[in-house]
A = this chain, B = another copy of it.
């Protein structure tokens, strides 16, 4: 099976890191594709960038010329998943929800360590909407921006451990790493804390394997029915898409649903 992991921002080094995490946990027989949007913010630290990214991700999915069996959206607390669920006929896993769901399999309550404090209400709202907030013991920022995470690996790890420890004191029995850019740190943090640490990318890849393994996919009866045929001006943004995806070897037909889009190559 082939799982497409979508880094929501345009920083190719983050795509590489996320791909590495996904590949490391994939089961034998699972192939990982990873890519990022062709336009949009280099990192996502707020609603404005999140909404740009959501459209850029949907644009990437619309124009992508490669078959896959499941999509993993690798932005923590970011919008867009429901749009991808409408667009695709393969299952869509989001790392925010996947991290929380796996944490709930491992302990009574979980905590989330994220980047900036401003992301806390945003993540809280996503978990609330997803119906997964009840068991959340807290969400805390480290004060480190997304791209700062990679600047000094030792400092990053130390701050994450300190922040996570406060959450454990507040009742968290499992810690979720609340940023795709923290992928790879879970083992070190777990070793220091003595509690299970869940990385959302890893969790989502395994859940994608689980869902695909059962032959299941998104329900189309209501919320996530395919988009109705209609005129969408200027869409897709990236047009005939001569842009190069980050290391994505593409070959076949897209799995986008058979909606009758009428993309206009607007002058935009």
Contact = CB atoms under 8 A, between A and B. Distances in A.
Given A27-B27, A121-B108, A134-B131, A217 B232 contact: no
B129 A238 contact: no
A104 B132 CA distance: 10
A102 B47 contact: no
Contacts of A173: 219, 221-224
Given A80-B51, A83-B50, A232-B49, A222 B27 contact: no
A156 interface: no
A223 B39 contact: no
A195 interface: yes
A83 B237 contact: no
A248 interface: no
Given A118-B225, A134-B134, A221-B173, A216 B196 contact: yes
A211 B106 contact: yes
Interface residues of A, number: 99
B211 A102 contact: yes
A130 B104 contact: yes
Contacts of A84: 48
A210 B209 contact: yes
A218 B106 contact: yes
A247 B209 CA distance: 29
A203 B198 contact: no
Nearest to A215: B187
A104 B131 contact: yes
B106 A233 contact: no
A264 B43 CA distance: 15
A222 B108 contact: yes
A73 to B, nearest CB: 12
